[in-house]
Amino acid sequence: MPEHGKTHPSHAGSRQPSSFLPHLPLPGTIADNHVGIADMADAFGVTHRTLHFYEEKGLLSADRMGPMRVYGLDDIRRMAVINACREIDMPISAIQELMADLDAASSQTHAAEIFDHALNGRKRELAAQQSILRRQMQRISELLESAGDGDNPERVAVPPIHLSPIETKCLAFMAEGYPANRIAVMMDMDMTAVLTLESGIIRKFNGHNRFQAVAKAVLMGFVSAD
């Protein structure tokens, strides 16, 4: 029986603490234990809603101190892994599988191998996307050259594209492959604002997605192809 007048942390979920996790650096501004949700969100550059979402997906499990939601060292270390995965735009389903595998790791070495395997898998996926992007860029070049052949008076001229300084900065980050959540942190903007900014850039380049927009931006000289 808990003593009268004292509040003890109660775990919100049934997930057991992880025995082994990859050694990733933690934000220097965060404490080792009993971190409130506001400090957790600020340290990792995410919103409260994002942390709630991770809890719903079973990736994190906050303790309770009265009405307060607090995170222990295990969840802080888990968040470092989750955040690293989101920075490379790893799907949530893949992160769930990775964390489940890490929960079952038999040693620190085993956990490191599991993490390396997941990173290499994501690297192969990104390489495949790069290949697709190169093909799309080549096809755009062919279409532009085809459209420019001959003197067709009925062909409508493509209006010039004008980007604001903030759009130019966002486009540069997009071209470097940063996901929207990471761009939001680097540009000190709300996630919704960044998504709106990206949508506007994609629309200006008449693309169906960020990859097509970046490809056209490279061809038109808005960003370097290097």
Along the chain (226 residues), what's the average pLDDT of each consecutive run of 10 residues?
Answer: 40 54 86 85 90 93 84 92 91 94 93 95 86 78 67 55 91 88 89 91 88 84 72
Q: How far apart are the two ends of the chain, measured CA to CA in Å? A: 65
Give the model's pLDDT for residue 14.
Answer: 44
Give the model's pLDDT for residue 128.
Answer: 85
pTM of the predicted model, to two decimals?
0.61
- Which CB contacts under 8 angstroms, 24+ apart, belong to 24-32? 24/77, 24/80, 24/81, 24/84, 25/80, 26/76, 26/77, 26/80, 30/76, 32/73, 32/76
Q: Which two tokens stand for residue 218?
A: 């490279």
Give the model's pLDDT for residue 68.
Answer: 81
Enumerate the domain spans of the chain. 10-113, 162-226
Say whether 162-226 and 10-113 share the same fold.
no
CATH number attached to the domain at 10-113:
1.10.1660.10
- Asked if 122 contacts 90 with a C-beta cutoff of 8 angstroms, the reply is yes
Distance between CA 65 and CA 122 in Å, rounded?
Answer: 38
Give the model's pLDDT for residue 18.
Answer: 56
Query: Which CATH fold would you assign to the domain 162-226?
Result: Arc Repressor Mutant, subunit A (1.10.10)
